Amino acid sequence: MKTPQISIIAPLYNESETFPFLVERLNNLMDSVQESIEIVLIDDGSRDNTAELMQALALTDERYHCLFLARNHGHQLALTAGLAVSKGSEAVMVIDGDLQDPPELLTEFYPYLKQGYDVVYAVRKQRKENFVKRSAYYLFYRLLKSISYVDIPLDSGDFALMSRRVVNIMNKMPEESRYLRGMRTWVGFKQIGVEYAREERHSGESKYSFKQLFNLAYSGIFNFSEFPIKFVSRLGVLSIIVSLIYFISVLIKKYYFQEVIEGFPALLFMIILFSGVQLFALGVLGEYILRVFFQSKNRPLFIIKSEIHNKEFVE
């Protein structure tokens, strides 16, 4: 197969129910456009028969390049693996394998690339998740935008079309704690958002638990904001001011109003105040230290167990 113009990357984890419909829509897309396309599917350590379905497909259709990771590395690292092996000479499109991101939007994104944009990212104008998740996403995106040192677009996820030079730069970014939509914004160049209605999952349940969503949010906040460490400093200054005000009020009551100040409540107040501030500060510092610790190990970001490319199986 000659070098494709566009790569479409989709990470899969236990998506055997959705897989046939994903392949059908991808095939229809490839048959309807003039540009040559390769599909990079990444099995992120699935426990169902997703890997077997991918293998059977890739061995019969050279347009599919399938990676099989050694274990479940998580969504962001699975996408990182896909970006690393993608061959698209012009652009790379990132989608979710659950069909919430319609691959057909490639035909709407690609003209912007031809107009000189390096990143065309999707903006979710409406979501189909439950009220709690929708509210959490809404608040998080606005919090991150308000504290981040890069202008991360509101309501945009990983679903995007990126030029080859943007992908090449992202592949050179070695951080272990990855927040791809922030990295994509940090790279810069000319970027534009296109609104779309995010669809419901075709079948099955979301693979992102609340714990994983919190971890992703932490990566966004601690990787692209100085706010946490500055907040701790300001909290420390505020606690000193509160303590000084309390101390001055005690002196005034003692020397001007001859009031007797009980020592135990004051002591208890000071211990609780400063202990709370110190524990909070240690927690914030711990988050940064933990990221430095994992990064310093310099381990590979992902491990590919095997892959199928051009209908050839490689271990």
* DSSP-derived secondary structure letter, 294: H
Confidence (pLDDT) at 207: 55
Please tell me the distance from the alpha carbon of residue 134 to that of residue 66, in angstroms, as a whole number. 32
Please tell me the distance from the alpha carbon of residue 160 to that of residue 251, in angstroms, as a whole number. 62
Task: Tell whether 279 and 305 lie within a shared domain.
Answer: no
Determine, yes or no, domain membership for 216.
no
Q: What is the pLDDT of residues 87-115, one digit of tens each?
A: 988 999 999 888 888 889 999 999 999 99
Q: What is the pLDDT of residues 72-82, one digit of tens each?
A: 888 889 999 99
Please tell me the distance from the alpha carbon of residue 160 to that of residue 192, in angstroms, as a whole number. 10
Task: Tell whether 178 and 64 lie within a shared domain.
Answer: yes
Determine, yes or no, domain membership for 213.
no
Task: Tell whether 102 and 149 lie within a shared domain.
Answer: yes
Task: Tell whether 275 and 305 lie within a shared domain.
Answer: no
Task: Tell whether 30 and 169 lie within a shared domain.
Answer: yes
Residue 48 belongs to domain spanning: 6-207+300-314
Q: What is the pLDDT of residues 153-203, one digit of tens each?
A: 777 788 899 999 999 999 998 888 888 888 888 888 999 988 887 776 655
Please tell me the distance from the alpha carbon of residue 179 to that of residue 166, in angstroms, as a whole number. 15
Asked if pLDDT for residue 290 goes beyond 90, the answer is no
pTM: 0.76
